[in-house]
Amino acid sequence: MVIAKKNMKKILLLILFLTLGVRNYSQTKSFKSVIDKTDLRNYITILTSDSLNGRFTGTLGQKKAARFISKKFKEIGLLDINNSGFLEKFNLTQSKWDQVYLKTENKKLDNFVNIIYHGKPNNDEIEIEIIFGGLGNVEHLNKINVENRFVLVFTDNLRAPNKSIRDLKDRNALGLILVNPNNTAQFESMKRTEKDFFLKKKIAFPRNDSTVKKSIDFLDQFIIPSNQLKEIIGKSQNQLNKLIKSNNIENCPISKVKIKRERIIKNIETENVVGFIKGDSDKSILISAHYDHLGEKGKLYYPGADDNASGISALLELAENFINIKNLKYNIIFLATSGEEVGLLGSDYHVNNLDFNPKNIIVNLNMDMISRTDNKHNTKENYLYPIGTDINPEIAVYFKKADSLFSDCYFDYSYDNSNDFSGVYSRSDQYSFYKKKIPSIMLFSGLHEDYHKVSDKVDKIDFNLLENRVKLISRVIELIQTQNQTD
């Protein structure tokens, strides 16, 4: 009996240890959330203010936003990973087309006004020779000397000219001038659809010249409307058609014009904002949201209330929610990224940093556009898309469990196993973590009519919905924290 009593005592102590040792954090019913719609509104109001001017990467407005977030991280009590004021700085280049023109003796033709240019920059004005290449077929092109010249050809497809035209590079042509003589509307259509893309500022990581492919697979191209033919080559469309019909294109005189293709490049510095709460292991849950947006549009600016001041407001509330929880099993890293709108650059930099170890990240939960309602739901329906749970079943279990524990919001799995997955999922920061083989979930409430417009404002947000969405995300984090206590 003495031995039995000792064993019983050990068993009782073990039960007591397991009951208390699963961390007071695991008692989710007694956990009081501090997530509050008033705070969420205040954060979004600040981030969408005109003083931040749309938060475009590399601008003063973006840097003001970074300072605001880092200040809040400090006030909340997060730890500074690199003792850098929570700022993870990195360098980018910003480039944009400036003066791009084709100039004749009498007229200057400007890019996306009366010409379209696709090609490499050259900041000097140079004089070029233009030779007529007829219909751009092999027969016509074999009749002329294209070396060190631009070749003007008629084509019925300005976007994808035929192979013989593209192969002029192998004959040392300098470039192409493309004209569609039978469809004047195609030029105007290209102007409308391509202008914003080609003329906007481009942001990228700096490239070492030694890593840039030297051989360009296409020739520089000027695309012109047919009404500019006589100005550029000295012959009207009818005169050129007669040369084609008589098979005498080589009799078209060579013309000369001046061209300039100026591209301005400058170096910029931007920064992610990173803080964390220490847990009891080397493993971490990484919560992310981007804080940059689209900047200005003339005299207006893009507020980006939903995209993605909503995600940052949630990030700050989650940090405040977990900071006072003792004995967390896992670290929680809070990452506010820059450069998302211009190519996921902030998250790409973070995951490729030498100090980043993908094996230590249990999951990335990325919040992007979580405060509005799409046209698949009614305006008061409180849902959230957890995109990526279908490819991460080990994480999906926590979402399913959170759904059962929280009644004020639910997860909508419509994007799972759908053709929409890659189109949405690859466009936000979780994709950078996914490429590192980290389980990564995009938390998203869907597209809406104000997406990437100056009308994406704070007054369009239902903060009751947003508060409950953030609480549901918090519940998922709590459940992950209490997983597999023996790990």
Question: Residue 460 pLDDT > 80, yes or no?
Answer: yes
Question: Residue 210 pLDDT > 50, yes or no?
Answer: no
Question: Residue 356 pLDDT > 80, yes or no?
Answer: yes
Q: Which residue has the higher pLDDT, 485 or 98?
A: 98
Question: Residue 424 pLDDT > 60, yes or no?
Answer: yes
DSSP 115: B
| pLDDT value at residue 217 | 58
CA distances from 132 to 37, 126, 152, 251, 335 (A): 67, 19, 5, 9, 57
Q: Which residue has the higher pLDDT, 28 or 420?
A: 420
| pLDDT value at residue 20 | 35
Helices (H), 293-392: 310-322, 345-351
Across 332-339, average pLDDT: 98
Q: With bands split at pLDDT 50, 70 and 90, how would you rate the model's confidence at 229? A: very high
Q: With bands split at pLDDT 50, 70 and 90, how would you rate the model's confidence at 311? A: very high
**Which residue type is seen at 265?**
I
Question: What residues pair up with 428 in beta bridges, in sequence order?
Answer: none
CA distances from 338 to 13, 200, 253 (A): 51, 18, 54
Q: Which residue has the higher pLDDT, 299 or 418?
A: 299
Do domains 24-79+278-481 and 95-265 share one topology? The answer is no
CA distance 348 to 318: 23
Question: Residue 31 pLDDT > 90, yes or no?
Answer: no
CA distance 333 to 331: 6
Question: Which CATH number is associated with domain 24-79+278-481?
Answer: 3.40.630.10
Cis peptide bond N-terminal to 308, omega within 30: yes
Q: Count Cβ atoms below 10 Å from residue 397 Cβ, excluding itself.
A: 14
Question: Residue 142 pLDDT > 70, yes or no?
Answer: yes
| pLDDT value at residue 178 | 96
| pLDDT value at residue 326 | 87
CA distance 355 to 452: 34
Question: Residue 215 pLDDT > 70, yes or no?
Answer: no
Question: Nearest to residue 100, comparing CAs of 89, 88, 109?
Answer: 109
Q: What is the mean pLDDT of the chain?
A: 90
The CATH-assigned architecture of domain 95-265 is: 3-Layer(bba) Sandwich (3.50)
Cβ pair 371, 461 in contact under 8 A: yes
Across 359-386, average pLDDT: 96
User: What residue segments make up the domains of the chain, in order of their start?
Assistant: 24-79+278-481, 95-265
CA distance 171 to 176: 12
CA distances from 311 to 317, 321, 349 (A): 10, 15, 20
| pLDDT value at residue 483 | 77
Give Rg (Cα) of the chain: 30
265 is written with which tokens?
A: 């490049």
| pLDDT value at residue 416 | 82
Q: With bands split at pLDDT 50, 70 and 90, how would you rate the model's confidence at 18? A: very low
Q: What is the residue-wise DSSP string for 413-425?
A: -TTTTSTHHHHHH
Helices (H) and strands (E) in the chain, counts: 14, 17
Question: Nearest to residue 255, comparing CAs of 107, 123, 121, 156?
Answer: 107
| pLDDT value at residue 191 | 94
Rounded to an integer, what is the distance from CA 169 to the centroid of its chain? 34
